[in-house]
Amino acid sequence: MKATADYDQDFFAWAIESAELIRQGRFADLDVQHVAEEIEDMGRSIKRALLHRLTVLLAHLLKWRYQPALRTRSWRYTIIEQRDAIIDLLEENPSLKHGIDEIVAKAYPRAVRDAADETELKATTFPAQCPWPLEQALEAEYWPE
């Protein structure tokens, strides 16, 4: 018996039915193309989450460094929260470490843009390249002065 839920009409029903077909070992009944696309999309989603969290972390580290008089608990909390989430993502998905330099290189210009927008400082105020190695940016005790 072929799957009955339609991917384009009811994604939720399709996903539940597909999971059950896999559990039952009924691979011939699967919409294999869409299953493969969804698995790939889950991987991209995790990478996008890492990019977003790195952007937020780096923007807040820039704000912390370049506007010391305006430091807030909220900034501190955001830095701590993003560090923890990034560390968790990398622990749960160790293969992301292999491309981490590219992700940081993509996140940093976005962080500069966001920090400049939020602080009303010129983007040229900030270094052209990320001033912190990732390991340092993720250190719990590191606060740029």
Decide: 115 and 62 in contact? Cβ < 8 Å. Answer: yes
**How many structural domains compose the chain?**
1
Residue-number span of the structural domain to which 94 is assigned: 55-138
- Taking the CB of residue 56, how many other CB atoms lie within 10 A of it? 20
Q: Per-residue confidence of the chain (145 residues) as pLDDT tens digits?
A: 566 788 889 999 999 999 999 999 999 999 999 999 999 999 999 999 999 999 999 999 999 999 999 999 999 999 999 999 999 999 999 999 999 999 999 999 999 999 999 999 999 999 999 999 999 999 999 999 9
26 occurs within a structural domain: no
35 occurs within a structural domain: no
74 occurs within a structural domain: yes
- Taking the CB of residue 132, how many other CB atoms lie within 10 A of it? 19
Decide: 100 and 51 in contact? Cβ < 8 Å. Answer: no
What are the residues whose beta carbons fall under 8 Å from the beta carbon of 98, sequence distance 6 or more?
Answer: none
**What is the pTM (predicted TM-score) of this model?**
0.88
For the chain, state the CA radius of gyration. Answer: 21
